[in-house]
Amino acid sequence: MLTRMTRQLVYVSDSSNHRISVFDPHGVHLFSFGEEGFHGGQFKFPRGIAIDSQENIIIADSGNNRIQIFDAQGQFVSSFGTWGGGAGQLKGVEDVCVTVDGSIVVTDRENHRIQIF
């Protein structure tokens, strides 16, 4: 779970239901996005969540071995990463964060490393 204080929103990764839910600070459900699958905007056990300086929502899509990026309304923007052990490839991403300079840092569990994009 991640709280974004600038917009007073709470983002919850509902991994078992393959979706992200967004709530206000009082726990009122605002919207959800995602469903099980492998296409853009679909998830397979989403995990970590980060928000970048443009208010994009960045999701560690663990079962699909990729990172997905959505706009502030939960609309799919892009994704990167494929299964594997090479540079830029991922196996079991767990978490994600964004640095001050906008780089995306990813925990790559099965490859026992952290990658920066």
The rounded distance, in Å, linking the Cα atoms of 88 and 11 is: 26
pLDDT tens-digit profile, the chain (117 residues): 555 555 788 999 999 999 999 999 899 999 999 999 999 999 999 999 999 999 999 999 999 999 999 999 999 999 999 999 998 899 999 999 999 999 999 999 999 999 999
Q: Write the single-letter amino acid at 33.
A: F
Which CATH number is 2-35+45-116 given?
Answer: 2.120.10.30
Q: Where are the domains of the chain?
A: 2-35+45-116
Sign of the CA dihedral running 44, 17, 25, 31: positive
- What's this model's pTM, rounded to 2 decimal places? 0.91
